[in-house]
Homo-oligomer: A and B are copies of this chain.
Amino acid sequence: MGDGVTRIGVLASGGGSNMQAIMDRIDAGEIRGRIVLVASDQPAAFALERARCAGIATAVLPYHDSPSRGAFTAAILDALRAAEVELVVLAGFMRMLTGELEAAYAGRMMNIHPALLPSFGGPGMYGHHVHEAVLAYGAKVSGCTVHFVTADVDGGPIIVQRTAPVLEDDTPATLAARVLAQEHLAYPEAVRLYCDGRLRIEGRRVHILGAAPV
């Protein structure tokens, strides 16, 4: 962008509280980015309502309106491109996409996982399943991981991780809430670093460059 502000597209299926955390940091002037599109497969997703209230363009793309996963992915990609999205932020987006989107936005698409990857990640590990697995394993620490999206589910290069303790009386719900508080710090931080041009991917590692001199 000419003005140095990254155009961000968000994909969300639910409440979009992580998106809200990013919006709040943008509004506070801490992130050199702007959310230009919020797309959802769920017409009733509260994330869409948040977007409308903030005057952000929305797109609703119900999964079953597409004849195939490939067509669904293509529709998403068309919407992102039409909005000239530079960075894609997955914020509780519950549909699998095809490799076409990952290829188009390689190194420019982030997701967040509610555990400390590589622990408790991979296919089937989402939402409450993650926290149930953490508790069943008896881990004493959990947290969240923001990573670039690759074809390897939950396996892309890690940008930010933050920790949360597992407490003696935790249920999946209480642990989820404690981890979510960390997600709301981790995700805006990852987006901020991206928009400041401070992330460099080398193989599996994401190097965080020093802040540019003012």
Contact = CB atoms under 8 A, between A and B. Distances in A.
Given A116-B116, A119-B118, A138 B204 contact: yes
A52 interface: no
Given A168-B207, A168-B208, A207-B168, A140 B161 contact: yes
Q: In which size bucket is the chain A interface? A: 20 to 34
A188 interface: no
A158 interface: yes
Contacts of A118: 119-120, 137, 139
Contacts of A163: 141, 143, 163
Contacts of A138: 157-158, 203-206
A175 to B, nearest CB: 13
Nearest to A135: B205
A146 to B, nearest CB: 9
Given A163-B163, A207-B168, A208-B168, A116 B137 contact: no
A208 B168 CA distance: 7
Interface of A: 116-120, 135-141, 143, 145, 157-163, 168, 203-208
7 contacts: A118-B139, A135-B205, A137-B158, A140-B159, A140-B161, A141-B161, A168-B208
